Every structure is written in C-alpha cells, then in structure tokens.
Structure 1
Amino acid sequence: MAWRHFDYEEEAGVATVTFSRPERLNSLTFEIYADLERLTAELKGRLSDIRVVVLRGRGRGFCSGGDVEETIGELLKLDTRGVYEFARMTGACTRNLRELPQPVISSVNGIAAGAGAVLAAASDLRLLAESASFRFLFTKVGISGGDMGICWLLPRLVGLGRAAEILLLGDRISSAEALAMGLANRVVPDQELDALVAEYAGRLQEVAPWGLAMTKEMLNRAGSLDYSAAIEMEAWTQTMLMTAQDFREFHAGFTGKRKPVFTGR
C-alpha cells in the first residue's frame, strides 16, 4: 500500500507512519492531513492483521505542525466554509487515532509542535527521546489553544490546571518536563528510542487484541459517564469478552502450561 505524502510500512503486525519532510521538520500540508485521515479510517477494519500503529518523524523532529507556507498561507485564501472543512478534516485525524482498535505509539524525537503535538497527545503511548519537546503554540499564531480535540485530550493527561497553562501560554515543554507531568510515558537517550518503540510494540502484540481495543473504548467513553454508568458499561464489555475465544484461549494456555495465542476472536 503506497501513500504519497508520508512513508508507510507494515511489518509483523506493526503499521508505521513516518512523516518524511525532514527539511521542513516534517511539517504538515493539506495532502498529508488528508492521507492520514484516510489511512487511519482504513486501519480501523484491520485488527486481524495490524496489531499496533506507530507514528514517527524522519530526521531532527517528530512533526512541527502545519506548514507556514503550504497550510497556513493557503488557509488565508479560503472562505469560512473552506476553513471549517479543513478544521473538521484535521480533527478527524485525531478522532480516528482515538477510535482505532489498535494501540497507537508516538515515537517522538525532536520537536512536536502544534498539530504534531496534538497527534502525539491523541496516541495511546508517547515514547520520547531526550531531544524531544512539545509546543502547543496555537495562541502564539493568533488562534485558539483548542484545536483537533486537544482541550479534551490534554486535561485528561496532565490535569486541567496544567493543561490551561500549556494551552494559554504555548511554551516549550522539554522531555523531562513532559515525563514529570504525565505527557510522556518514557524518555530514553535518542539512540535508544527505536529499540524502546520496538519493545513496546512487541509487548502489545502479546496481549489480546480485542481486549486492547475495548480498553481504548472504555477509556474514551468513561470520562463522559457517571461512576455507576461506567461500571455498568464495563460489566457489559467484560461479559462480551469473557464469552469470546481469547478468554478461553488464556485458560487453555494457563492449564496447558503454554503461552496463549490470541487472535482477537
């Protein structure tokens, strides 16, 4: 499967998207957003063969956000309806990442700014090189700090007070600061990042894929429910999974003293 506006590969159940404009710090264009929306929509139906999705950037950065000339400059030429349609498309990219049944890992090296920072925040796991940094710089360019769902995502990662400071001021967040506030899951020396991502991808493939998918579903929905409703939703979900094949496979592997082979059934 070829995608024109970023590099894409599938290997051993892992789909890797690599933003590949290193000379522009992997800034995003209309075409990149559109391809990313289409790809993530397609991957929703491929849990049987794609178990993990990885986002990464080529060169010195993960993704520096919308390209000043090819995105921001072009937006100035659009009318209100055109800008709205663009904003909905970019929001669909992060919505799709959250709704993917597969866990999503962002492998963040260097800068993750603007939309790049939001894409990382929308991932399930953020693994950082020491060189990594975040900047949610929307107010710095004259627009709202709320973009692509970040006002929903960020408070759930770092708390409302911290999220307010980050989005209002748009200041740089180092990898160490990101780890301390819960925005990063792990930080390692730059040369160890690829190995760490491969380790996490391997570990995620050892557990039940439908179990992972429904864990994401619970995390997405629970925040909008009261406690009793969340318990009820989890009860129905567990009932479904406890009558599925993977739960039986766990028991068969345990009693047979072998490693279970989960298939997402």
Structure 2
Amino acid sequence: MSYDFLYEVQDSVATITLNRPEVMNALTFEVYAQLRDLFADLRRNDGVQVVILTGAGEGFCSGGDVHKIIGELLQRDMKAHLDFTRMTGEVVHNMRMLEKPIIAALNGMTAGAGAVLALASDLRLASERARIAFLFSKVGLTGADMGAAYLLPRVVGMGRASELLYFGDTIDAATAERYGLVNRVVPHTELLSTAREWASRLAQGPTFALAMTKRLLNQEQHMDLTSALEVEAQAQALLLMGEDHRRFYEAFKAKESPRFNGR
C-alpha cells in the first residue's frame, strides 16, 4: 500500500517516518486516515512486533496542517467537523489497542496533534533538540483533543497536565523528562540508534508477554484494586504456562540466554 509517509519493516520492527519536512511534518486528512488504518492493520501483522514513530527533517510533527486541514474545515459543516475529530481519535484508539510497543522518537518540534501522537505511544525518546507543546488552547480550541485529557494526567499527573493543556506553552526536552513526559533525552545524533536499540530489545523479547502487559496497562486504568489483582492473577497464570516462560527456565538451567518465540 502507498502512504504519504515513509514506512519500512526490518527485523520485526516497523518504522513510520512522517515525511513532510517542509512543514514540520504537519498532518493532512490523508495522513490521519492512513495512520488510523495502518495501526489497525498492524494488529494482525505477525511480521511486526514493535513500531517506531518519528519525523523527517528537523521536526517530529507540528500538528494539523493549517491550510490543508484548518482552512478546509472552516468551509465545512458541523457533521464534517465531527467526522474529522472522530477520525483523529481513532488514530489514538488504534495506537493504544495495538498490543505491540510503540516508541516515539521525538527529533524536534512536537506540537498539537503531534504531541498527542507521542503521548499515545508507549515509550518516548527525545532528542536534546525536541520541544513539546499541547498548543490547542493557544488557537482557541479545547486542550482535550484526541484523548489528551485522558492520557496526559495518567503520564504526568493532573497538575502538570492542567498546566500543559491550559497554557499550551512549549517545553524543552529536559523539562519534558523532568515532568515524566519522555522516558529519556539523548543526543540528537543518537536518537534513532537508541530507538532502534530499544525496539530490537523488545522485538527479541517475550512478545506475547509484552502484549499482555500493554493490554493490562490499558484495562487496569478502569479497575479497582481487587479487580486488578484478579485480572493480573489470571493473566500471569496463563503466561506461567506459556512456552516463553518455559524457554526462560530451560535457558536458566543451562546457564544460557533465553531465545523467546512469542508464545
């Protein structure tokens, strides 16, 4: 399939590179739809175990294209607006429902919808040059967009989330790391190599166990402690009977490194 971004798969790792560097990889209607469908399709793609999401050039993603989306939407009716905002939400939904790790490699400006795409990823690596802004309020829109008001408090806490969504200010990579918004800041030249190293480790790991971990991280946000303990007990009992766990045990006895197969 043809995409308006770069897409490649190597060693079970898919790399999505937003590729409109002349506009800081601003999103279009078509890119949103393609991302929505690709993340849904990846659920059934056994050849991909980990996804890296990054941007070409000097930016990760500056959000929706001012002319190709905002200017166009202002000419459309309310139903068309709702169709669009629901589609953008489906991108985030499909990212969270993909039971494979997604690593966002933030190479530069990460703003608006771009910041939410990073937020919807499982892990965030930031170049020292990265800047992040949930700038919706600065353009007269609610900061609660594409699931930001749901996801952001769970990552940085309610106080920090309120600050970031109310003011829409730009923060640098070091501040994002201090807030807990990114997992690690690395030198700009090492960003993609670090992302690929993390992705390789995950792809070679017990992928079924990782999928179950992501599923439970999603599900347990809605549970009380008693329910969470029970669902974890059931999941762990299942994994204790899995082939990967047995491979760990046999490798441990032989004093070797386990070779997992995702079962």
TM-score by length of 2: 0.97
Structure 2 equivalent of residue 220 of structure 1: 218
Q: Deviations over 1:42-77 (max 9, x none)?
A: 00112x321110000000100000000001111112
1:208 and 1:263 in contact (8 A); partners too: yes
Structure 2 residue corresponding to 1:245, chosen from 237, 243, 246: 243
Structure 2 equivalent of residue 145 of structure 1: 143
Q: Following superposition of structure 1 onto structure 2, how do residues 24-103 of structure 1 map, counting pairs within 5 Å?
A: 24-46=23-45, 48-103=46-101
Counterpart CA distance in 2 for 1:260 and 1:3 is 38
Pairing 1:7–2:14 present = no
- Displacement after TM superposition at 1:126 (Å): 0.4
- Displacement after TM superposition at 1:98 (Å): 1.1
Q: Percent identity?
A: 49
Counterpart CA distance in 1 for 2:180 and 2:58 is 23
Structure 2 equivalent of residue 187 of structure 1: 185
Q: Is there any run of 5+ residues in structure 1 with no aligned partner, and where?
A: none
- Displacement after TM superposition at 1:259 (Å): 2.2
After TM superposition, what 4+ stretches of structure 1 lie above 4 angstroms from structure 2? none
Q: Which amino acid aligns with 1:45?
A: R
Counterpart CA distance in 2 for 1:40 and 1:161 is 31
Structure 1 residue corresponding to 2:258, chosen from 244, 257, 260: 260
Counterpart CA distance in 1 for 2:211 and 2:191 is 25
3-state SS, counterpart of residue 26 of structure 2: coil
Q: Following superposition of structure 1 onto structure 2, how do residues 161-240 of structure 1 map, counting pairs within 5 Å?
A: 161-240=159-238
Structure 2 equivalent of residue 124 of structure 1: 122
Q: Deviations over 1:166-204 (max 9, x none)?
A: 001100011000000100101011111122112111221
Q: Which amino acid aligns with 2:215?
A: E
Counterpart CA distance in 2 for 1:242 and 1:256 is 19
- Displacement after TM superposition at 1:258 (Å): 2.4
3-state SS, counterpart of residue 223 of structure 1: helix
3-state SS, counterpart of residue 49 of structure 1: coil
3-state SS, counterpart of residue 10 of structure 1: strand
1:15 and 1:54 in contact (8 A); partners too: yes
Q: Which amino acid aligns with 2:206?
A: A
1:128 and 1:193 in contact (8 A); partners too: yes
Counterpart CA distance in 2 for 1:164 and 1:256 is 52
Q: Which amino acid aligns with 2:191?
A: L
Counterpart CA distance in 2 for 1:88 and 1:262 is 38
Counterpart CA distance in 2 for 1:133 and 1:221 is 30
Q: Is there any run of 5+ residues in structure 2 with no aligned partner, and where?
A: none
Q: Which amino acid aligns with 2:159?
A: G
Q: Which amino acid aligns with 2:257?
A: K
Counterpart CA distance in 1 for 2:208 and 2:90 is 23
Counterpart CA distance in 2 for 1:223 and 1:203 is 26
1:65 and 1:116 in contact (8 A); partners too: yes
Structure 2 equivalent of residue 18 of structure 1: 17
1:139 and 1:167 in contact (8 A); partners too: yes
Q: Deviations over 1:6-59 (max 9, x none)?
A: 11000111000000000010000000000000100000112x321110000000
- Displacement after TM superposition at 1:123 (Å): 0.5
Q: Deviations over 1:149-168 (max 9, x none)?
A: 11111001110011001001
